[in-house]
Amino acid sequence: MTILEVRNLTKRYGEQVAVKDLSFALEEGTATALIGPNGAGKTTTLSMLAGLLRATSGSINWHRESGVGFLPQHPHFFPWMTALEFMEMAAKLSGVHSKNALSQSKKTLEFVGLGSVQNKKTGTFSGGMKQRLGLAQAIVHEPKLLLLDEPVSALDPTGRREIMDLLKSLQPHTTVLYSTHILNDAEQMTDQLLFMQHGKLVEHGSLGEVKERYAEPRIRIRFQTARQAAVFAGQVSWPADLDGSAVELAIEEEGDTAMKKVLAKLADTSEGVVGVEQKTATLEEIFIKVAGGK
Ligand SMILES: Nc1ncnc2c1ncn2[C@@H]1O[C@H](COP(=O)(O)OP(=O)(O)OP(=O)(O)O)[C@@H](O)[C@H]1O
């Protein structure tokens, strides 16, 4: 079921078009990563979806009764409040009945790993703790749709992994749309990729679909020594790039065929092979290609 549908969404600031003719849909229970270079229009898009910014034109349709949670890129916490006080306030503002606000806040703080510091002032919190608190305030009312603007970009790798794991554990009950600069994280949790540039959607699809579109089939063969690699590169008829003691072959053939041919060639002539692998483009490589090419 489609939980949110965006059609021809546009936001102008005077002459500047921050978001242009953006259309996409979110299916219930899925995770969508919104990626794109600085200034692409990600924050503007999420702010319009969260209802904080009025669109210049276009439409946003979603089931309002399912509830929406929003984590802004730079959430503001009142430093003199304890985490629990802040959460109770956030819970009430999000429509949690006041008699349930305390218990719901405690439960959510526990869920994001802040249970033991619930009575500490938020002003004393580290970046990672603040990010967890930001996530907690976004989910305290158990929304069906969660919008997160750069939920992990300010964190170290451990913190990022923890937050991503928390987000994954919300699925499939929650539909998540999040922007990120950390493409490795986007690869970990995404059913759909939306790639924005200059306010426009320039690529979208599942991770597999996008990868396939940009895949340049290559086979990488690692040798014990650079000399062995060079000898092999000189013997093959395919385009070959040397990379230290490895050779990368660009072979434009269907799936297994290329690999079979390479293995046959290796069995014939080569010494010192320590590994053979089919390479697929990483999201980072695709990002650079898309961002550089348009
Ligand atoms: N209030 C504003 N007034 C004028 N222009 C704005 C305003 N807010 C954003 N913009 C412009 O709109 C464009 C999109 O900005 P936005 O913050 O949405 O990008 P972003 O993809 O979130 O970037 P980042 O990854 O750096 O957060 C940028 O060119 C920005 O300068």
194-233 pLDDT, tens digit per residue, is 999 999 999 999 988 888 887 777 889 999 999 999 999 9
CB 70 within 8 A of CB 138: yes
Same-domain check for residues 274 and 136: no
Q: Please tell me the predicted confidence (pLDDT) of residue 267.
A: 85
Same-domain check for residues 199 and 219: no
pLDDT < 70 positions in the chain:
64-65, 254-255, 269, 293-294
* Domains identified in the chain, total number: 2
Ligand 1 atom index nearest CA of 36: 21
Give the Å distance between the CA of 181 and the centre of ligand 1. Answer: 15
Same-domain check for residues 169 and 73: yes
Same-domain check for residues 142 and 288: no
Same-domain check for residues 264 and 276: yes
Q: Please tell me the predicted confidence (pLDDT) of residue 255.
A: 64
**In this structure, which residue's CA is closest to atom 5 in ligand 1?**
13
Same-domain check for residues 10 and 113: yes
Same-domain check for residues 75 and 186: yes
* Domain boundary residue, one of 212, 227, 262: 212
* Domain boundary residue, one of 162, 177, 212: 212
Contacts 24+ apart (CB under 8 A), 62-68: 62/3, 62/4, 62/5, 62/145, 63/3, 63/144, 66/3, 66/143, 66/144, 66/145, 67/94, 67/95, 67/141, 67/142, 67/143, 67/144, 67/145, 68/143, 68/144, 68/145, 68/146, 68/147
> pLDDT by residue (tens digit) across 51-91?
899 999 999 998 766 789 999 988 889 999 999 999 999 99
Same-domain check for residues 252 and 141: no
Q: Please tell me the predicted confidence (pLDDT) of residue 154.
A: 78
CATH label of the domain that carries residue 177 = 3.40.50.300
* Domain boundary residue, one of 180, 212, 244: 212
Ligand 1 atom index nearest CA of 19: 14
Give the Å distance between the CA of 195 and the centre of ligand 1. Answer: 15
> Residue 58: left (phi > 0), alpha (psi -120 to 50), or beta?
left
CATH label of the domain that carries residue 221 = 3.30.70
Give the Å distance between the CA of 161 and the centre of ligand 1. Answer: 27
Q: Please tell me the predicted confidence (pLDDT) of residue 105.
A: 96
Q: What is the ipTM of this complex?
A: 0.95
Write out residues with Cβ below 6 Å of ligand 1.
13, 16, 18, 36, 38-44
What range defines the domain where residue 244 resides? 215-293
Same-domain check for residues 233 and 92: no
pTM to 2 decimal places: 0.84
Q: Which residues contact 74 (CB under 8 A, 6 or more apart)?
A: none
